[in-house]
Amino acid sequence: MLVTQQPVLRKFWYAVMEMSKLDAGPQPFMLLGENIVLWKKSDGTPAAARDRCCHRTAKLSKGYVEGDNIVCGYHGWQYDCSGACVKIPQFTNEKIPPGARIDTYRCQEKFGYVWVALDEPLVPVMDTPEEGNPEYRRIHQFDEAWNTGALRLMENSFDTAHFSFVHKGTFGQFEQPKPEFFDIRETDYGFEAETIITINNPPQSHRITGSTEPTTKRHFKNQWHLPFMRRLGLVYPSGIHHTIFTCATPIDDRRIQIIQWLYRNDTEEQCPAALLNEWDVKVVAEDKVILESVDADAPVDVSRLAEEHMKSDRPGIIMRKRLLALLKEHGEKEVFSQAA
Ligand code: FES
Ligand code: FE
């Protein structure tokens, strides 16, 4: 699926970067092929606009912020959050032309990230019971660009058969390649998939799992939220809750920004955030190598029923079915660049 060619995908909220990045001034980001600029207003909330000055097209992300407004670094034209040009420094008494404006986008902060929707969103950003709950801490994990498709990362997030191979260096059991399968319940937001998986538990992960046994179990409640976000609720037999949010924010048809954060119901003393991130960087690097080798766009077609022989492909098949239904509901046909 060429995500930039499917207008309905503009009607969702996407996490684009950590809010704290805006402390350094306006920041550029590409979302669904569109260059946007993000900045922080005087009340601390974020704003987003097209990253293109309407005077002579300079990128506004090269400019600076004044109060609530973004100022072009080329000749100083200044735009408010509605996109109207409110100041042209070279003018004295002349009126600013009404056509002097830029497109702006819906923008908000949530979970410590900036979220942007290019068009009127169909659903709000989800809530989660861990946020603001004093029993949980929130830990930022990753914010980086990968050369893969958004759907590829989502499929992978629900593919139990890759653990033994891709993650044989961390938690995967290479000698036991037969995967556990998810029980899948479809929902309005996508689906929830549940299973219990046995994992290797090397010393480096003992404080993460809360167990010193050589293997332990993970109870997965893994939610897929249309189109490209997942919430993975993991519970270990030790009683530790480990809830991961992963956003495959589509930069364009072949690149994503992977943004991931985590909630834990333990303390920094019990398991330092640096240790959690060091381990997860290792695990996710294993996924990155393989996901950057796959075709970002090749359709894994529902009609390829051979895939059904491996029930571990079912989540990906349901994702595709739901995405195709979404396109149909909005009068769109899937656009892709090559045959399967
Ligand atoms: Fe932006 Fe001239 S190009 S002010
Ligand atoms: Fe993986």
Quickly state the pLDDT bin for 181 (edges 50, 70, 90).
confident
Nearest 5 degrees, angle CA 197-CA 200-CA 201?
Answer: 115
Q: Residue 16: pLDDT above 70?
A: yes
In eight-state DSSP terms, residue 300 is -
pLDDT tens digits along 230-254 = 999 999 999 999 999 999 999 999 9
How far, in Å, from the CA of 87 to the mean position of ligand 1? 11
The protein residue with its alpha carbon nearest to ligand 1, atom 3, reads: 56
How far, in Å, from the CA of 45 to the mean position of ligand 2? 34
Ligand nearest to the CA of 287: 2
Comma-separated ranges of CATH 3.90.380.10 domains in the chain: 137-327
Comma-separated ranges of CATH 2.102.10.10 domains in the chain: 3-117
- In sequence order, what DSSP letters do the residues of 150-215 get, joined into one string? HHHHHHHHT-GGGHHHHTTTTT--TT--PPP--EEEE-SSEEEEEEEEEEE--GGGHHHHT--SSE
Residue reference for tokens 């003018």:
91
Q: Residue 309: pLDDT above 60?
A: no
How far, in Å, from the CA of 46 to the mean position of ligand 1? 22
pLDDT tens digits along 19-72 = 999 999 999 999 999 999 999 999 999 999 999 999 999 999 999 999 999 999
Find the radius of gyration of the CA atoms of the chain: 22
Residue 60: HSE in the Cβ half-sphere, 13 Å Cα cutoff: 32
Order of strands across the sheet that contains 78-79: 64-66, 69-71, 78-79, 85-87
How far, in Å, from the CA of 159 to the mean position of ligand 2? 8
Q: For a pocket test of ligand 1, which of 74, 78, 102 has the largest count of ligand atoms closer than 8 A to its C-beta?
A: 74
Quickly state the pLDDT bin for 304 (edges 50, 70, 90).
low
Domain 137-327 -> CATH class = alpha beta
317 or 274, which is more confident: 274
Residues within a 6 A CB radius of ligand 1: 53, 55-56, 58, 72, 74-77
Query: In this predicted structure, which of 27-36, 172-181, 268-277 has the lowest mean pLDDT?
Result: 172-181
Q: For a pocket test of ligand 1, which of 77, 88, 96 has the largest count of ligand atoms closer than 8 A to its C-beta?
A: 77
Superfamily of domain 3-117 in the CATH hierarchy: Rieske [2Fe-2S] iron-sulphur domain (2.102.10.10)
The protein residue with its alpha carbon nearest to ligand 1, atom 4, reads: 75
Q: Kindly give the number of the ligand 1 atom that is closest to the alpha carbon of 75.
A: 4
